[in-house]
Amino acid sequence: MSTPEETRPPITYTYTIRLENGSQMQFPVTLDGETLSLVPEPPAAPPPDWTRLTFHQCPNCPLRPETHERCPVAANLVPVVEAFRDRRSFEPVEVSVESQNRTYTRKAGLQTAISPLLGLHMVTSGCPVMDRLRPLVETHLPFMSRKETQYRMLSLHLMSRFFAERRGEAAEPDFERLRSTMEQVHEVNVAFCNRLRAITEKDASINAIVILSTLGDFPDERLAEQDLARLEQLSREYYER
């Protein structure tokens, strides 16, 4: 843990969505440099009813309304969801993502453009299930392919096992925890889609989450072993030197 003098500065991302009519919307995201948790923007108005914890609450949610009136993910996603609730998934846009070290730019359908923005909020807002993926935010990569997503998930899983073993904890069987985590994450994604379906007839935000869910589908055992075998072969020279 860093001393107060070594506190890491906040991490910032700025998503800019440019519509076909020339207008644009900007969504700044600020993360605590130490914990990677979202630093929320001050709300412009009282949160809408659809952010209540009990509104289409995820079946696997461990939170209780007595202590959490609002779903933390829903509360933080209000500006994004409200901005696009009346827009279609395949509306063409240009999106740019500015970070400290680089800028990503892409022309795509709206669902693809906002999917990483929603994902960034979902794993940093304080959801006990989605928080398991928060370490990935350290190297946030917009517009990931399925292969890139699986590579990063495998890396997080193996790194977590390494640190657990270094602490003297017993290692779990290969992929058991990863599979369980991704099943829990998938359940949250499905439930959150149901939350959004209840408040809008348009599908941009809903399909953006569907994309996240599809990218994060756990590969079958055979594919996972093939990926690891290939990575081992590619890195063999590193191990042998």
Backbone angles phi, psi at 177, to 5 degrees: -70, -40
The reported pLDDT for the residue numbered 203 is 67
Question: What is the pLDDT at residue 222?
Answer: 54
Which residue positions in the chain have pLDDT lower than 70? Answer: 1-6, 172-173, 201-203, 212-225, 227, 239-241
pLDDT at site 58: 96
Instruction: Determine the straight-line distance between the first and last CA of the chain, rounded to whole angstroms.
Output: 33
Rounded CA-CA distance 185/58 in Å is 10
- CB distance 212 to 119 below 8 Å: yes
The model's pTM is 0.86
Nearest to 125 by CA among 186, 73, 53, 181: 73
pLDDT at 193: 87
Distances (CA, A) of 51 to 70, 79, 82, 89, 195: 6, 12, 12, 22, 9
Q: pLDDT value at position 177?
A: 83
Q: Are 175 and 157 in contact (CB under 8 A)?
A: yes
Structure confidence at residue 241 (pLDDT): 60
For residue 21, what are the CA distances in angstroms to 25, 144, 215?
Answer: 12, 27, 30
pLDDT confidence of residue 41: 85
